[in-house]
Structure 1
Amino acid sequence: MEQKITSLLNWLHTSPEFYLNENVTINETEASGRGVVLCKNKLVKNDLIISVPTTHQINFHTVLYHISKFNPDLSIPSVTVNEGSIDIDDPRNEAYSILEQDFLLELTSFQLLCLYIIAEWILLPVWSNDATVSYWKPFFDVLPAKEELRSIPTKWNLMDASPYKPLIPFLSDASFSHTERISKLVKNDWEIIAPILLTWNNMFSHKVKDVPSMEELYLEYLHVYFVINSRCLYYEIPIKKNKDIASNFTLVPYVDFLNHVPEVGEHCYPSLTTTKHETELKAFTIRCGEKGYNQVGEEIFLNYGAHSNDFLSNEYGFVLENNEWNFIDVSEEILEMTEGNLETISFLKENEYWGDYTINFDDISYRIWVTMSLIVTKDIRRVEKFIQGFISEDFFRPKIREPLIHLLSSLKKKYEERIINLTQMRLHDINDTWCIDNLLIIYNDYLYILDHHISALGEINEK
Structure 2
Amino acid sequence: MEQRIERLLKWLKKSDEFYLSPNVGVIESEGSGRGVVLKNGNLRKHDVIVSVPSHYQLNYYTILWNISLFNSELKIDGVTVNENEKEKYSKMLQDDDPRFQIYSSLDQTFLLSLTSFQIFEIYIMVEWILLPLWSEGRSESFWQRFFDVWPSEEELSSIPAIWSCSPSSKDKNLLPFLPSASCVLLEKKIKLIDHDWALIHPWLASCVEKFCQQGQKTLPQDELYQKFLQVYFIINSRCLYSKVLLRKGDEESQFTMVPFVDFLNHTEEINEHCYPKVGRTPKAQTNMGPFSLKCGERGYNRIGDEILLNYGPHSNDFLLNEYGFVLERNQWNYIDISEDIQAMLEGNSAMISFLKHHDYWGDYTINHSEISYRVIVVFSLFVTKDYKRMDKFLSGFISEDYFWPKIEDTLRQFLTSLCDKIRDRVEKLEDMRAESYDFSAQNVVALYMGYMDIIEHHLDRL
Scaled by the length of structure 2, the TM-score of the pair is 0.95
User: Is the 1:53–1:275 contact (alpha carbons within 8 Å) kept by the matching residues of 2?
Assistant: no
- The count of aligned residue pairs is 454
Q: Counterpart of 1:403? A: 410
Structure 1 position 383 matched with structure 2 position 390: yes
Any residues of structure 2 matched to 1:38-437 within 5 Å, and which? Answer: 38-82=38-82, 85=90, 86-242=93-249, 244-278=250-284, 279-428=286-435, 431-437=436-442
- C-alpha deviations, 1:16-73, integer Å up to 9, x for none? 2111111111111222211111111111101111111110111122211111111111
Q: 2:213 is paired with a residue of what secondary structure?
A: coil
Q: Which amino acid aligns with 1:444?
A: M
Q: Residue 266 of structure 2 aligns to a residue in which SS? A: coil
The counterpart of 1:451, out of the listed 438, 453, 456, is: 456
Name the CA shift for 1:42/1:235 in 2 (closer, same or farther; >3 Å).
same
8 Å Cα contact 1:23/1:38 also seen in 2: yes
CA RMSD of aligned residues (A): 1.5
Instruction: Using the TM superposition, give the Cα deviation of residue 376 of structure 1 relative to its aligned residue in structure 2, in angstroms.
Output: 2.7
Return the offset for 1:444.
1.5
CA deviations over 1:158-206 (Å, ceiling 9, x no partner): 1122110000001111111111110111011000000011011011013
In 1: Cα distance, 2:306 partner to 2:18 partner: 22
8 Å CA contact 1:127, 1:208 repeated in 2: no
User: Equivalent residue of 1:397, what SS?
Assistant: helix
Q: Is the CA contact (8 Å cut-off) linking 2:61 and 2:287 kept in structure 1?
A: no
| Separation in structure 1 between the aligned mates of residue 371 and residue 354 of structure 2, nearest angstrom | 21
Tell me which residue corresponds to 1:442: 447
Deviation, structure 1 residue 389: 2.9
Distance 2:394 2:73 in 1: 59
- Residue 285 of structure 1 deviates from its aligned partner by 1.0
Q: Residue 16 of structure 1 aligns with which residue? A: 16
**Equivalent residues of 2:8, 2:146 under 8 A apart:** yes
Q: What corresponds to 1:33 in structure 2?
A: 33
1:250 alignment partner, SS class: strand
- Structure 2, unaligned runs of 5 or more: none
Distance 1:351 1:282, change over 3 A: farther
In structure 1, the residue corresponding to 2:379 is in which secondary structure?
helix
CA distance in 2, matches of 1:123, 1:277: 33
CA contact (8 A) 1:8 1:139 kept: yes
Give the gaps of 5 or more residues in structure 1. 458-463
Verify the 8 A CA contact 2:79 2:287 in the aligned structure 1.
no
CA distance in 1 between counterparts of 2:51 and 2:215 reads 40
Q: 1:287 Cα deviation (Å)?
A: 0.4
| CA apart distance, 1:215 | 1.2
Shift of 1:432: 4.3
Q: Report the CA distance between 1:402 and its aligned residue.
A: 2.5
2:42, 2:300 within 8 Å by CA — same for their partners in 1? yes
Q: TM-score, normalised by structure 1?
A: 0.95
**Cα distance in 1, alignment partners of residues 392 and 14 from structure 2:** 66
SS of match in other structure, 1:385: helix
Q: Which moved more, 1:313-322 or 1:406-415?
A: 406-415
